[in-house]
Amino acid sequence: MKILVSDDVNEQGVALLREHYDVDVKTNLPPEELLKVIGEYDGLVTRSQTQVTQEVIDAATNLKVIGRAGVGVDNINIPAATARGIVVVNAPDSNTVAAAEHTIGMMLAMTRHIPQAHQSIQEGKWDRKSFTGIQLQGKTVGIIGIGHVGGRVAKRLEAMEMTVLAYDPYVTEEYAKNLGVEQVDFETLLTRSDYITIHTPLTKETRDMINAESIAKMKDGVRLINCARGECFDVEAVAEGLKSGKIAGAAIDVYPNEPLTKDNNPFLGMFNVVQTAHLGASTIEAQVGVAVDVAYGVIEALEGKPVMTAVNMAPIPKNVAAIIQPYFALAEHLGTIGIYLANGPVKSVEVEYSGELSETETQHLTTAFLKGLLNPILQDSVNYVNAPGLAKKRDISVKETKSHKAGYYTTAITATITTSSGSKHIIAGTLFDGKLPKIVQIDQFRIDFTPEGYLLLAPHVDQPNMIGQMATILGKAGININGMQVGSTTKSGTNIMAIAVGDDIPNDIMLQLSGIEGILDVKLIHCEG
């Protein structure tokens, strides 16, 4: 077999591949040249430069695996690769130490004005008074997101004798306790922290999480660090806070628009800012690590072994695939909606299969459910291979059961989600005409809707004008209603509305909806996660 390495990948990873296969290193190939040669290769290893487009995948007639030496796979057309049965693997864990250490370095550099003092020395000055800093010891640091990177940051800051607060609504109390951090809500973290560092994936909830409103709640003189995702900061709001003195300092490695230039850098010329050019993973060890890890992933894929770092579906026996293939989307949608229903740390899930699914292997569908459950809340790339391991790491108990009894639907998937607080939520689905996923039960409510786009779920008191009030508020806000259904329950006096809307709903409109008398709860669910 032949492997093409199309970007600069550490030699240790290349050497590992050469122990097993013929390897050609051809970097900086123009797109037209890549198209000419890609058909010769069984494997492709890239970093971020090579664009693995639909056209490239169509030309890759022998390609079985694509390895990305790093975390992000934005340069690879994943759906096209999956449709062709090409395994895509990455290296999600190899740079976590590098990112954590860069965070600490940025924090220290900002606090002690190290870059500014260095520049002063380089200019021939001896100025000690201008660069007086503060000590980290005894200060309170708030960490938003305590996954792989955030957890490592927490351990290092504890060793520096700081008080560590953590906000992460999707980890259990036990997990936080094992890290030695105090778990708090978001507002408490904002008001108590002298330093705030963010380590989350980019989601609807985390985009612009640090904005003018959240900055206003922070201590005067707070210091901010972002080595995670540029879009988690409203950089204009942060810049204004730095100018006003509300924010004493900022250390920033990532930006909404990269590369950063003089024209799009809101922090240009600010003394109280330390900036780096997305260097969080740029260590020798991390580059060796991602190269070696992706090499192992490519080798495992070509040998037909399970690949723990695959970002698309693992192989499934043909006889099993014939039965379960139509249910993958349904299972994943059930998980995605389930995490919104849980609204907090999940302790356990039980997935029950009935009808024809009770007669076949269903562990792949359970994995799809876990993928849907975890993907909206984790910074890590969640896939059909690593989802069970990620659930185990988060102390989520997973149980799979089969029901051979005839139920309300011929074949169905029913999931029961139990949170760490003891609350339980049930969500069930089936296929319409054997193809179209349908959600047919949420908790005690019978319902029937297609899980796509944005969905408003509103349990409410069964009384006149409930639908009318919701529709009026949405209409006045210019939000289009694509569909609506009211689900009933055997419990008298309550129903649930499922309203499909065309787009996201602003927080102020959500507050208006939840304020309607008789509305028991309102959740906006992005069904695609």
Residues 222 and 169 grouped into a single domain: yes
Q: How far apart are CA 209 and CA 211, in angstroms?
A: 6
Residue 326 burial (C-beta neighbours within 10 Å; 0-12, 13-18, 19+)? middle
Please count the other Cβ atoms lying within 10 Å of the Cβ belonging to residue 357.
20
Q: Pick from 488, 486, 489, 487: which is nearest to 471 by CA?
A: 486
The domain of 306 spans: 2-94+286-312
The answer to pTM > 0.75 is: no
Evaluate if residue 56 carries a pLDDT over 90: yes
In the prediction, which pLDDT does 65 show? 94
**Bridge-partner residues for 187, per DSSP?**
none
User: CA dihedral in degrees (502, 508, 510, 512; nearest 10)?
Assistant: -120
Evaluate if residue 415 carries a pLDDT over 60: yes
| Of the candidate ranges 218-232, 243-257, 456-470, the one whose mean pLDDT is the lowest | 456-470
In the prediction, which pLDDT does 282 show? 87
Q: What's the CATH code of the domain at 461?
A: 3.30.70.260
Q: What's the CATH code of the domain at 46?
A: 3.40.50.720
Q: Which helix (H) or strand (E) holds 493?
A: none
Residues 35 and 125 grouped into a single domain: no
Task: Flag whether 280 is in a domain.
Answer: no
In the prediction, which pLDDT does 132 show? 93
Residues 161 and 215 grouped into a single domain: yes
Residues 299 and 256 grouped into a single domain: no
Residues 308 and 330 grouped into a single domain: no
State what percent of residues in the chain have pLDDT above 90: 66
Handedness of CA 275, 278, 280, 283 (dihedral sign): negative
Residues 336 and 252 grouped into a single domain: no
In the prediction, which pLDDT does 322 show? 82
Evaluate if residue 492 carries a pLDDT over 80: no
Q: How far apart are CA 116 and CA 124, in angstroms?
A: 13
Most confidently modeled range among 132-141, 254-263, 427-436, 488-497? 132-141
Q: How big, in percent rounded to 5, are the helix, strand and coil portions of the chain? A: 35, 25, 40
The residue from 297, 312, 327 where one domain ends is 312
Task: Flag whether 508 is in a domain.
Answer: yes
| Of the candidate ranges 74-78, 178-182, 230-234, 353-357, the one whose mean pLDDT is the lowest | 74-78
11: left (phi over 0), alpha (psi -120 to 50) or beta: alpha
The token pair at 248 is: 């004493």
Q: Provide the domain count of the chain.
A: 4
Q: What is the mean pLDDT of residues 237-260?
A: 95
Helices 363-374/328-342 angle, 10° precision: 40
Task: Flag whether 159 is in a domain.
Answer: yes
In the prediction, which pLDDT does 373 show? 92
Q: Is 520 helix (H, G, I), strand (E, B) or coil?
A: coil
Give the 3-state secondary structure of 72-110: CCCCECHHHHHHCCCEEECCCCCCHHHHHHHHHHHHHHH
Residues 505 and 360 grouped into a single domain: no
Q: What's the CATH code of the domain at 373?
A: 3.30.1330.90
Backbone angles phi, psi at 152, to 5 degrees: -70, -40
User: CA dihedral in degrees (503, 508, 514, 515; nearest 10)?
Assistant: -150
Q: Pick from 105, 111, 149, 112: which is nearest to 128 by CA?
A: 112
Handedness of CA 173, 176, 177, 178 (dihedral sign): positive
Residues 423 and 464 grouped into a single domain: no
The model's confidence at residue 379, banded by pLDDT at 50, 70 and 90, is low
Q: How far apart are CA 135 and CA 307, in angstroms?
A: 45
Evaluate if residue 23 carries a pLDDT over 60: yes
Evaluate if residue 490 carries a pLDDT over 80: no
Q: C-alpha angle 343/348/352, rounded to 5°?
A: 105
In the prediction, which pLDDT does 488 show? 75
**Bridge-partner residues for 197, per DSSP?**
143, 225
In the prediction, which pLDDT does 174 show? 87
**Bridge-partner residues for 23, per DSSP?**
3
Residues 304 and 405 grouped into a single domain: no
- pLDDT digit string, tens, across residues 313-367: 655 666 787 888 889 889 999 999 999 888 789 999 999 999 999 999 898 899 8
Q: How far apart are CA 454 and CA 504, in angstroms?
A: 7
Task: Flag whether 407 is in a domain.
Answer: yes
In the prediction, which pLDDT does 449 show? 87
Q: What is the mean pLDDT of residues 203-228?
A: 95
The residue from 425, 443, 461 where one domain ends is 443
| Of the candidate ranges 136-140, 290-294, 410-414, 450-454, the one whose mean pLDDT is the lowest | 450-454
Residues 88 and 133 grouped into a single domain: no
The catalytic residues are 229, 258, 278
In the prediction, which pLDDT does 193 show? 98
State what percent of residues in the chain have pLDDT above 70: 96
Task: Flag whether 61 is in a domain.
Answer: yes
**Among all chains, which residue has been given the structure tokens 């607080």?**
421
Task: Flag whether 227 is in a domain.
Answer: yes
**Bridge-partner residues for 383, per DSSP?**
none
Residues 165 and 113 grouped into a single domain: yes
Residues 428 and 459 grouped into a single domain: no
In the prediction, which pLDDT does 385 show? 61
Q: Residue 449: CB partners within 8 Å, gap ≥ 6?
A: 438, 439, 455, 483, 485, 498, 500
Q: Please report, for residues 190, 214, 393, 493, the alpha-carbon distance to residue 211 in angstroms, rounded to integers and kept in the order given.
A: 12, 5, 31, 41
With b for 16 or more beta-carbon neighbours within 10 A and e for fewer, the 30-55 pattern comes to eeeebbeebeebbbbbbbeebebbee
- pLDDT digit string, tens, across residues 262-307: 999 999 999 999 999 999 988 999 999 999 999 999 998 888 676 7
Q: Is 426 helix (H, G, I), strand (E, B) or coil?
A: strand
